[in-house]
Structures are given as C-alpha cells and as structure tokens.
Structure 1
Amino acid sequence: MPRHSGGLSRRQFLAATAGTLALAPLLVHGQPSAPGKLRVAQYKGGDKLLLEAAGLLDTPSPLEWAEFASGNLMLEAMNGGSLDLAYGSEIPPLFGFIKGAHIRVIGVIKGDVNEQTVLVPKDSPIQSIAELKGKRVGYVRATTTQYYLTRMLDEVGLSFADIQAVNLSVPDGAAAFRTGQLDAWAIYGYSVPLAQTSVGARVLKRANGYLSGNYLFFSTPEAIADPQRHAAIADYFARLQKAFAWRQNNPERYATILAPEIGVPTEAILTLLRNESQVRRLVPVDDTAIRSQQDVADLFLKAGVIERPVDVRPLWDRSFQAALNG
C-alpha cells in the first residue's frame, strides 16, 4: 500500500487529513425487526457473555446479537435499520444527532473511565500531553477519544491542529501502534490491557476527570413505540441491572470467563475491575445526564469540531423510566 511522509498508509493518511466531522450522510434503510425479536449490539466479550455468566440469558424474546468495535459504528448500523438497541459514550449519539440520525437515548450506564487512556510505546521519551505537539496520535473519531484528547490538548494550550491526528478504527489503531506508526494512541476498553501485555504500552494519561462516565443506551423511535420491542428492551434492562450487580460481586469469576473470550490475561482484567472509577450500573435518563452531554456539545463547538450550537434535549427519551427504576 502506498505510503506518505511519516510512514502512514494511504488509508491512515486520508483519515488523518479528513475533516473532523466528515461522516457519511446518515440514511435510514434496512428491514424492520421480526416480531418479538430484539437486535442488540455489543462489544467483544460484551453483554451476551455477562448475561450468560450471571444466568440471565433466558430472555422471553429472542435476541439477535451483532458485534462492533465502537459506538459510532453501532450508531451507523442502527440508523441503517439493522439494530434495535446499542450503547456507546455520549459522543456517537451527539454526532449522529447533528447529522440527523434516527435514534433516541433511553438509558444511561454509569461506567469506568480509568480504562480510557492515552498510551505511548514502552520506550517512548514522551512524558506529558504537551510533548505530543507534532506527533502522530491515533484516535477514533466520534468517540470518547476525540473528546478527552481535545480537552487534554486544550489544557496545555494545544489543539488537534498541533498534532498529527490519525483517525483509525480500533483494529487499525492497534496495528499501527504495535508496528510503531504512532507516537501515541488515545484508546479505551480492553485494547488498553491488550496493548500493555502484548507490546508493553505505557499509560501517558488517563481520562478520569475528563469524562463523565456516562455511556448511553440508544434505540430507534420505531422500536420504542412497538409494544413487543418496548417490552423486550425493558426486560433486557432489568436483566442487565442484575448482571451488573453479579459482576460487582463476582469479579474473579467474571474475569476468568471473559479472559479467553477477548484474549487478555485474567489478572489484567482483574486489575481493570479493581481500579474502576465507579461501580458499573444502569440508571434512567435524568436532567444531569442530559446536561453532561450538552457540555460535550458546547466544548466541541468551542473547539471548532462542530459548526453550530446544538440543543441535545430532543435526542433523549424517558420511555423506560419505570423499567429502570423498577
């Protein structure tokens, strides 16, 4: 594959020089879900495994699972008509909302932010965010990484214009980091311990203090309005609340089950679980969560990532308050 200056592939170079919000137009298409079936997105080693481990996978409605590496890809699939339920950080639904995505936020996971980090190679001389100036920094556009990297850079008087920002999918970012094509990598989840255990990556800075820890469940207006899918989502939420409690009370068992699924040592998973910034739980939509996403939108406006002010309130839907309080 042809390469440009800096050792980046053509795909990486084009991603790096593309507009920050140059997302493909979001168009609604695809077939509706079959009656009674709920099409659910998850991450590798995600909710299906957790529900099964907790003995809660015997749902009254059939679940059709699809695996994704990031919330922005889930949003695109949902807007294309392929999903009924998915979750990601505050950022993918925001960008989708700006582009007219056909979604609504219906629940909030309170989750960890300590596994959201900027990594550098083990032998890197870089010791601070300020030293990223002029460096090749990988991130995943329209995710938490774009947000916390924006905030971290701003804190030291820098912006994306001061670094060689390279927008990469999670697998492409892992490959680029592993092969030395990145000076730093803003990433999240189990990619962090994988990079630490496989190539000795070092944490330059964690996102605790920069992120709210809110991860948003989103659905489509059609799924919310459909009685069968509405009931299936409510049941799913109730089971997931119980599964999160099981996970909290059985970290060793959970880590043992998860480790072979994602290819991470059990002890690395336990280290993440023991250092979570808050207990993982699923809660209803409230004004505080909506305000938190509004703060994200306001910061992106200030940073020039989005071009106009955005009121996020129409994105949020309280249809599952009773189920989540239940």
Structure 2
Amino acid sequence: MSHGSAKTPPARPASLDRRHVLGLAASGLAASALAGLGTAADAQATATPAVDLTGVTLRLADYKGGDSLVLKAAGRDRTPYRIALAEFASGNLIVEAINAGAIDLGSMSETPPVFGAAAGARISVVAVIKDDVNWQVVLVPKGSSIQSVAELKGKRVGYVRATTTHYYLAKMLAKVGLSFSDITPVALTPAEGQSAFVQGSLDAWAIYGYNVPFAINDGARVLITSSGYLSGNSLYAANPATLQDARHTAAIADLFHRLRQAYVWREANLERWAEIRSRAIGVPTAVDYEILTKASRRRDLFPVTDADIASAQNVADVFRDLKVLPRPIDVAPLFDRRFNDGLARALS
C-alpha cells in the first residue's frame, strides 16, 4: 500500500481488474499477461529441487511491498523456474484468481479463504505465515473519554466489512457482553474510514496497517490492539490443479524455502528493509521502521497444524454468527499438508 502524506489514507495497491483476471483465465492467456520475475539459473544457496524446473512458470500473486520484494532484497529471487508476478490489492481477489485458474499461489489473511469456501472456490491452503498483530487496533480520536471496549456501547464504530477488523471487533465486543447490535457499526473502506475518523464522524475505528501510525501521529489513541483476539495467521493458498503437477509442486516447495531465508534476512536487516519497502509503497521510512520494530512477532512461514485449522474455523464460525456468511462452513477440506515435512525440516 502507498501513502501520500500523514493526512491522506494509504491507497490500495494496484491490482489486476477482476474481470480482466477471470477473462485471462478463461482464455488461457493469464501467464503471458503477468510480469516475469526470476531467471533460469540460480547461483544462490537454496534447497536443491529433486526435479528439473527449467521451463516451469509459477504464477505468483503478491501485494505491493510484499514477499516478492523481500525475496529480491534478500537476494533469493534468482530461481531455476520463472516467477510470473501479479500484484493484487486484497486477498479476496487473490482467492478469486486462484479459483479462476489465473494464479498458482498467493497469500491472504484467514478471512478470504472462508468466504471463498462459502462460494465454492477451489483453493488449497498449503502453508501458514505467522506475523504481527500490533497494528490491527481500535482507535479513538484525540480527546476521547472512551477508555474501554464496554464504553463503545451506543457509539459509532467504523470497521471494514468481512475483514480481520470485522472479526476482531466482534470478538472484543463479545468479551464484554456486547454485540454489533449494541453499537452503531459503520462499514467503510479504509479510505472512507480515515476520512470519517478525521472529520469526527466516528467515536472509534477498527483498522489496520499504515492507517494506524498516521492516525496516532495526528493525535488518535489506541483503545485496544488485536493481540489475544487475532491469530496473526496469514495463509498461503495454491491452485489445486497446480498441485497435481510434480514440477510445479517442487517449485512451490523451493519458493517456500527461499521465503524462509528471505524472512531471516529481513529480521536481521530491518532498517535496510524499511528503506526498500517504504520506497516501494510510498510511506516515510521512519513510519515503516516503527511498524517493523514494534511488531508482536517476526514474520515466518510454518507448516499447517490442527491449531491453524481450528483458528480458521473460528473465523468462519464468527462470521456465520454475524450472519455475514450464508451458511456454516467447514474449513478443514481447504487445508493441504503436503509441504509440512519440508517446512518442518527448515525449522529444525
């Protein structure tokens, strides 16, 4: 995401138009429409694939300033297969693109796969990213007298519908015996929320990412963080058809190994990484560095566990209780543990 100034909300990263992506998938032209990343030969230390990956193209979905950038920054992007990179603005669009056959692999929060499952999307969750939750919060304006979640009763509270903010706000309210019917919930995009918050139209705002430090800089106060309410899990999902091919599966395993190496570099070079990423997404380096240094945990990639499946199921159940999902969803069939052994070895 990018940011113009402290007064302007972060803009969404550029993405492929939904109809364009689906149309490309239908016509079989998706791979040629994506920009390439990587070379045919790899001179770097990484896992040695068991099969020849020459000629393989892995269609990877990513966000601006995301994993493809950290691979490059860490010097882990020169792969023995081609990476065709497509930039997306949200996880739900990545799920749609995977389902349409336009993308082989991409990451998102726990929420998009749940809604994808409700719509019958064909995706396989193959790995779990553990990441920060400190920058997913409920903010109150400067000078607000509100000191607890219980005091949100009857107040106008902004959030982003069908996202992590919707989920953790519901969990926070439930913990103090409240529900969405006890507040005046206002579903807004991040940009709309920032405008409403600045104009004084909201008593509180559940929001994430770069909106948070910029709002704090303007005098907002964090009422509560999502720590203890949000798992911090993001999910790498693959196209099930891609997983039927041994060479593409080997390429994904190799990419995961490289990502784990890149995350280690990222943690050891936070200041340098903040410089690189801030240029890519258009925020001041100091803001990005603050987010990185105050993270609740360092970003890393893990095998799928029963606890991860239970966490995603809880998300599905909460959205069902909120009547946002049309029916109960069993998330377990979404998960595929074929990469677990390789990821576990990398962690040992």
Give the TM-score, by structure 2 length.
Answer: 0.77
Q: C-alpha separation between the residues in 1 aligned to 2:99 and 2:195?
A: 29
* Mapped partners of 1:151, 1:84: distance in 2: 33
CA distance in 1, matches of 2:222, 2:328: 34
In the other structure, the counterpart of 1:282 is 301
1:233 to 252, 263, 277: 252
Q: 1:254 to 1:210 in 2, by over 3 A?
A: same
TM-aligned CA deviation for residue 217 of structure 1: 0.7
TM-superposed CA distance for 1:188, in Å, is 1.8
User: One-letter code of the match for 1:186?
Assistant: A
Distance 2:89 2:143 in 1: 28
Query: Which ranges of 4 or more aligned residues in structure 1 deviate by more than 6 Å?
Result: none
> What per-residue deviation string (whole Å, max 9, x for no partner) do you get for residues 70-120 of structure 1?
322322333333322221221211121122111111100011111111123
The one of 244, 248, 251 equivalent to 2:263 is: 244
**Which residue matches 2:137?**
117
After superposition, what is the alpha-carbon deviation per residue over 1:13-62, rounded to whole angstroms, capped at 9, x for unaligned? xxxxxxxxxxxxxxx77425547322222223111221111111212222
Q: What does the per-residue CA deviation read over 1:126-172, in whole Å, with 9 as the maximum and x for residues that have no partner? A: 33323333333332222211110110111222222233323333344
- Deviations along 1:182-226, one digit per CA (max 9) or x if unpaired, are 3332222233223334x3432221000001121111111112223
Instruction: Give the match for residue 145 of structure 1.
Output: 165
User: Is 2:217 the counterpart of 1:194?
Assistant: no
Instruction: Indicate how the Cα distance of structure 1 residues 318 and 164 shifts in structure 2: closer, same or farther if over 3 A, else same.
Output: same
Identity %: 54
Distance 1:300 1:82 in 2: 28
C-alpha distance in structure 2 between counterparts of 1:39 and 1:164, whole Å: 42
Alignment match, 2:127:
107
Which runs of structure 2 are paired with 1:123-202 in the superposition (5 Å)?
123-197=143-217, 199-202=218-221
Contact 2:65 2:277 in 1 (8 A): yes
Amino acid at match of 2:99: N
Question: Please, which runs of 5 or more residues in structure 1 have no aligned partner?
Answer: 1-27
TM-score, normalised to structure 1, is 0.82
Question: How many pairs are equivalent?
Answer: 300
| 1:52 counterpart (58, 72, 83) | 72
Pair 1:219–1:191, CA change in 2 (3 A)? farther
Shift of 1:278: 2.0
Whole-angstrom CA distance in 2 between matches of 1:181 and 1:45: 31
Q: CA deviation at 1:250?
A: 1.2
Counterpart in 2 of 1:18?
none
Q: How does 1:31-42 map to 2 (within 5 A)?
A: 31=25, 32=28, 34=31, 36-42=56-62
| Partner residue, 1:203 | 222
